[in-house]
Structure 1
Amino acid sequence: MLLYGTQEVNEKGHLTIGGVDSVDLVNTYGTPLIAYDIALFRERARAFKETFRAEGIQAQVAYASKAFSSIAIYEVAQQEGLSLDVVSGGELYTAVQAGFPRERIHFHGNNKSEAELEYAFAEKVGCIVVDNFSEIELIKRISAMRKQEMDVLIRVTPGVEAHTHNYITTGQEDSKFGFDLKNGQADEAFYRLHNVEYIRVLGMHCHIGSQIFETTAFRFAAEALMNKMIMWRDEYNFICRVLNLGGGFGIRYTEEDAPLAPAKYVEEMASVVLSMTRQHQYPMPEIWIEPGRSLVGDAGTTLYRLGSMKEVPEIRTYVAVDGGMSDNIRPALYGAEYTAVTANRMDEPQTTEVTIAGKCCESGDKLIEQALIARPQEDDIIATFCTGAYSYSMASNYNRLPRPAVVFVEDGMHQLVIRRETYEDITRLDIPLQAVKRGDTI
C-alpha cells in the first residue's frame, strides 16, 4: 500500500498522519478536511537546503506559495529558513500578516498591477521578478517617484520543452511568462534595466514547468541561462549575482509516478552551473530555487465522508463524497490522477474498484475514476493522498459549497489553521437589492 511521510496504520486499522488518527481528525473537525503532515514539509525543506550546503553553494530555497498559501504555512517556512515566492498582492498580504521577513520575499506574476507593485515597494520586499516590458516601466516610475532602490530578477523563457501537461509548461518560447531568451527580448529587458537609478539587476530567473520527473530539461535551462550570463559579462561587463532556476520538481501521486529525490534535481542543476563557471572563469552566482508542490504536495491528505452510491451494471460503481471539484479542481481541469483509501478500514482489502465522484452538479466532477478502496459503506472516510498542492489554493465556492477546513498534524498533535467556511461566510459579500419603484434603474 502506498503511504506517504509519517502515515501509518494503527491497531484500530485506521490511517494515521503525524501520529494522529484520521478518524479522530474527522470527528473533531468534520469533512472535507485537508490534513498536512508538517514533519514531511520540514524534511523536504531541509533536504533541499542540505544539498546546497553539501555542494558548498550559496543558495536560497523559496517556497512557491501558490501551491498552498496560509499564514500558518508561511510561519513554518520561516521556521525552516526558507524564502518565499508570492505572485499577488493577496499572497504578499498573507506573508505580511504572518510576519515573514520581507527581505526573503520574491514577488512574481505576469500581470502585476501598479497597486501591487507599490505595495511591494512599501513593504520593501527582497526582489521583484520582472516579467514584461510594461512592468519594467512601472517599476522604473515607482522607484524614481519613491527614490527607493529595488532588486530585480529578469524572468526569461529558455525555450526548453518540459515533459509535463501543456497547462503547466512555462519555459517554452510560446509562453505568457517572461522574456524570450532567443529572440532578443531578454537582452532588451536587460538593456532597459541595467544602470537605471534605484534599480539593481540581480540576475536571471526561469521556470520551465511543473510536475517534471527528469533532469534533462533543468540541465538545458541552466546551461541556456549561464550562456546568456556569460554573454552579458563579455558585452556589458555585468556579473549576475543570482541565478534562479525555479521549481517544478515532480512528486508521486500514483504508483506509476517515479519522481527523483528532491536533492537529485538540485545536484543536476548545480553541476551544470559549477562546470560552466569554472570553464568560463565566471564568479559563482547564488542559486535560488522555488519548490512548491515538492515541498507541500504529498504532505497533504484530504479526508471525505462517503455518501451516496450508485451502480451502473457492467459499467462502473459510483461512490460520492462530500467534496469534489470545489476543493480539488485538478482532475477536472487537466486529468490529474490521485490515489485513495478507506481510512477507517485500512486493515481490509483495498480492492474494490469504484469511481469517486464529488457532489458538484457537473458530470466531470470525478476525483478518481478507477479507485481501489475497501468495499464501500455509507459514512466511510475516504482519504485522497497528495492533495497538499493546488487543492485548497484553487478551491472555490462552486454550487455555494463552503471551502474545507485545514489542519496541521505533527508529533501526535493537531491544530486547526484554516477554519471551515460557513454559509454565512459565503454570503458575507452579497448585497441585497434595495426596494425600488417600477421604472427606476437597478
Structure 2
Amino acid sequence: MTDVLDDLETRGLVAHSTDRDALAAELAAGPITFYVGFDPTAPSLHVGNLLQLLTARRLQLAGNRPLLLVGGSTGLIGDPKESGERVMNTKETVAEWVDRIREQVSRFVDLEGDHAGTLVNNLDWTAGLSTIDFLRDIGKHFPVNRMLARDVVSSRLESGISYTEFSYVLLQSLDYLELHRRHGCVLQTGGSDQWGNITAGVELVRRADGHRVHALATPLITKADGSKFGKTEAGTVWLDPELTSPYAFYQSWIQAEDSKVGEYLKQFTFVPVDEIDALMAEHAEKPQLRAAQRRLAAEVTEIVHGRAEVEAAELASVALFGRGELADLPEATLAAALTEAGAVDLAAADGPTVTDALTATGLVASRSEARRAVADGGAYVNNQRVDDPDQLLSDTQLLHGSWAVLRRGKRAVSGVRLT
C-alpha cells in the first residue's frame, strides 16, 4: 500500500500533503478510508474532476476504501471563487444534479468487494442541523482572522463577499469531521485550489476530536502557456456525453501539446510509467506521428466512455480525411465530428448545390472560389471528388439520409446537414 504514494509522486500527482511520512506510515498500516468531494454546481463533472476520480481509483486499487461525497448541501452554496459571487441554484436543480453526479462518480470506483467504495451526501448530516448547534459546535473552532487570511477571501474583501460564501469552509470542514466519525476516514484528497478548505477540515478534526488525520492535494493541471487545462474553444470538456460528445472528448486529448502530453499520460492514465517513458522517447524522435497524443486520447476516452467510442472516434478521425469508410461511422459520431468541424444546416427544399455548400461552410470565401476549387479538382463530397460545381447535394449519396462531408484539399473539412 505504501507503493501507491510513491506512484502518485512519480506521476506528478502530489502538490501538497500535510505530513508525507505520517501518511506513508498510515498507508503501510492500512487499509485506510479516504474521501474526495464534488459539489453539484453543474449537471456534470468535467476533466478537472476526472483527475480526482482517477486518484481515488489509484488509492482503491492499492487496497484502500474510498468515500465519494456529492455535496447536496455545499452545492446549495458553492465554494467562493475569485471572480465574484456565485449564482445560487434552486434546491430542485441541485438535487437533480446530485443524482446525475452520483451516477457519474460511481463508474470510477468499485462499489462492491473488500475495498468497496461508498457514495455519501453531506445533506444527510446538515439538513437537520440547527444554526445554534452549528455555531456552537463547529463555528467556535474557526478563528475569523485565519478565515480572512485565506487567499480567495482576501481577494474578495474589496469587491465584496457574502457571509454565505465566507462560511463555506465551515461546511466543507464539517464533512471531514462527520466522515471521520461515521466511517473512520483519515485522508481527504482534492485539487490544490481546495488546499485551504482541505486543511481546515484536518484542523477541525484535531480541535473537535483530538485526532490526527491527513490531506493530499493534486496539482492544478495547466496547458503549456499556464492556462487552465480542460477548456477548448467550444468551452468546458464535460464527462457527460450529452454535453461533450465522446468524439469531441477524444479530440480534446489529441490536441495535447508535445511539451505536456507526457505529463497527462502519467496523470490521467493507468499506463505504467516506464512504458510512458519509452513512448515519450519514441515521440521525441517522430513527434509528427503524434503517437503519444493518440495513446493518451484512446486511454482516457476508454476510461470515461468505453472502448466502442474510442474505436468510433479513431475511425472518424481518419474517415473524414479520406482514409477510411464514412459509411461505417455511427450517425452520432459523424454528427459530433462534423459539428466540431463547423457543419451547417441547409434546407433540402432549396436544392443546395456543391457550390452553395462549400460557401455556406466557409471552406471557401466566395462562390467563384468554390467553382475554382471544383475546377482544380480540390473539392470532395463524402470523399468523392466533385466535377460539377452545380451538382445538387440531394443527388449525392447522403450519409444517414441527411449528412454530407465536404472537404477542400487534404485538410480542410466541414459538412452540412440537409433539413
The TM-score, its normalising length taken from structure 1, stands at: 0.30
- Bigger relative contact order (CA 8 A; separation at least 6): 1
